[in-house]
Amino acid sequence: MAESRQITGQCLCGAVTVTAQVTNPIVRACHCEMCRQHTSSMFISLATDPHSEAFTGPAKSFQSSEWAERGFCEKCGSTLWYGTKHDGVKNLSAGLFENAANAQLKLEFFVDNCPQGYSLAGDHKRLTTDQTIALFAPQEGTTE
């Protein structure tokens, strides 16, 4: 079984520090419209152990939809997390951590929304909008 380790990162200005535990460090990229508006690109998150994160400094959140919030540094505006309201899980911005905590890109969401001006190289799973929605909101009556 993989062993958990603590990682520490910070926002651009250093006012917000974040610590988290990570057992399976993978990076995920999201190309949905809200992530692109929030970051001016894709949102790249680092998979950390759920509810293991701790923030110090002026971390604030904005409720971006009925089910989600986006965290940012009140001082410099750095993106800190994307979080789901129903379970309180925060998907931390990979850019907070040196070398993205040495994690590898494993998954892209909403690849059909990725602007034509860029793409991510590598052999990783790529989910379309329909596949992403099915993953997070299975239709009634399915076992997924």
**Max CA-CA distance within the chain?**
48
Q: Which domains does the chain have, with CATH numbers?
A: 5-136 (2.170.150.70)
The whole-angstrom distance between residue 138's C-alpha and the CA centroid of its chain comes to 21
Calpha distance 100→106 (Å, rounded): 13
pLDDT tens for residues 5-53? 999 999 999 999 999 999 998 999 999 898 898 888 999 999 999 999 9
In 3D space, the residue among 52, 135, 51, 38 whose CA is nearest the CA of residue 95 turns out to be: 38
Question: Residue 138 — very low, low, confident or very high, per pLDDT cuts 50/70/90?
Answer: low
**Cα of 34 vs its chain's centroid, Å:** 12
Q: What's the chain's length in residues?
A: 144
- pLDDT score of 63 more than 60: yes
pTM of the predicted structure, to 2 decimals: 0.85
Q: Residues 44-71: what's their mean pLDDT?
A: 94
Residue 143, pLDDT score: 45
